[in-house]
Amino acid sequence: MKQDALWKAQLERLNDQLEILPDKPEETAETTLKALWLTAAARPVSAEKTRGMALPELKDDQQNLLAELIEKRLSGIPLAHLSGRQQFMGVELLAGPQALVPRKETELLGFAALDHLRELHTQLQRDLSMMDVCTGAGNLAVALTVLFPQMNVFAADLSADAVSLAERNVRFHHLEEKVRLRTSDVLDAFDTDAFYESIDVLLCNPPYISSAKVPEMHTEISDHEPSLAFDGGAFGIKVLSKLAHDAPKYLRVGGWLGFEVGLGQGPAMQKRLTIHKQFDHIQPILDSDGHIRALFAQRIV
């Protein structure tokens, strides 16, 4: 088929049939088609990276592969699982069913963390130490190290599958000397003298959906992404509670704890940090609708 006719026919199909989840605003019929087209041409990229990219001509077998990929996408398989790519904070990453596909909303936490890292580096004039627990695909750890290389990073996840994808992302960006990974229940694997009071910025994007709400999630998520990435226990704050309790042991005085919260969880978590004696300078990070989507707190004693 001629390339123009192929593009037009498949774009029309995607425009008619593709359902796009609200937490993946970078995916449109057009960016989806471009990402799948480039994947069929053996040049896989994320939806975001396709912007401004020219498309190569597809041979017959590649046109067949594109048709198969579109079929799979319309059946609900996430685009990032088909392309194997997802962009986060402008950094291209490997993606797959082993871990959550990094979401745009988590960039709020990431960019606020970047501001804290830059400010601390200006104050302290030395390389910093960062931790990222519940690292998933390693998106916060890897993207932040690409954007701010003056630090050493320790990242961990309870899921060995997630850790192996995060390790692939570390290698993808040649950061083996800077980012070290462990399998861990929250901070438990770091419970040694070497890590106590040593961390400048401690980040976490935890699972925060209450267990009762997990079955109500869209099937594109519940059928294809690991439930460990969402299920935050009866009230959705099982991991967050453990994190808030354990974090001061690892943060140095003056260091920052930052974590993402689910819609509606912000005020209660903010209050919890406010009454915590070791934290002050609580900073809520708001989305464009004014909802708290991340919180930062500084260890003061």
Ligand X SMILES: C[S@@+](CC[C@H](N)C(=O)[O-])C[C@H]1O[C@@H](n2cnc3c(N)ncnc32)[C@H](O)[C@@H]1O
Enumerate binding residues for ligand X (CB under 6 A).
Answer: 99-100, 102, 106, 133-136, 139-140, 157-159, 162, 184-186, 205-207, 228-229, 239
Query: In the complex, which residue's CB is closest to ligand X?
Result: 136
For the chain, the straight-line distance linking the first and the last C-alpha, in angstroms and rounded, comes to 68
CA distance 224 to 77: 7
Helix 160-172 vs helix 139-147: angle between axes, to the nearest 10 degrees? 20
Q: Which is nearer to ligand X, 62 or 183 (CB)?
A: 183
Q: Which is nearer to ligand X, 65 or 261 (CB)?
A: 261
CB within 8 A of 19, min separation 6: which ones? 220
Q: Which is nearer to ligand X, 110 or 255 (CB)?
A: 110
Q: Which is nearer to ligand X, 162 or 181 (CB)?
A: 162
Q: Which is nearer to ligand X, 162 or 251 (CB)?
A: 162
Question: Taking the complex as a whole, how short is the minimal distance between the CB of residue 230 and ligand X, in angstroms?
Answer: 6
Sign of the C-alpha dihedral, residues 270, 140, 48, 53? positive
Torsion angle, alpha carbons of 228, 232, 238, 239, to 10:
50
Rounded alpha-carbon distances, angstroms, from residue 56 to 36, 76, 144: 12, 26, 32
Question: Taking the complex as a whole, how short is the minimal distance between the CB of residue 67 and ligand X, in angstroms?
Answer: 30
Tokens of 117: 């890292």
Question: Taking the complex as a whole, how short is the minimal distance between the CB of residue 157 and ligand X, in angstroms?
Answer: 5
CB within 8 A of 142, min separation 6: which ones? 91, 93, 166, 169, 170, 172, 173, 175, 179
CA distance 97 to 202: 26
Question: Taking the complex as a whole, how short is the minimal distance between the CB of residue 133 and ligand X, in angstroms?
Answer: 6
Question: Taking the complex as a whole, how short is the minimal distance between the CB of residue 263 and ligand X, in angstroms?
Answer: 13
Question: Taking the complex as a whole, how short is the minimal distance between the CB of residue 236 and ligand X, in angstroms?
Answer: 11
Q: Which is nearer to ligand X, 50 or 205 (CB)?
A: 205
Question: Taking the complex as a whole, how short is the minimal distance between the CB of residue 226 and ligand X, in angstroms?
Answer: 6
CA distance 31 to 187: 38
Q: Which is nearer to ligand X, 14 or 144 (CB)?
A: 144
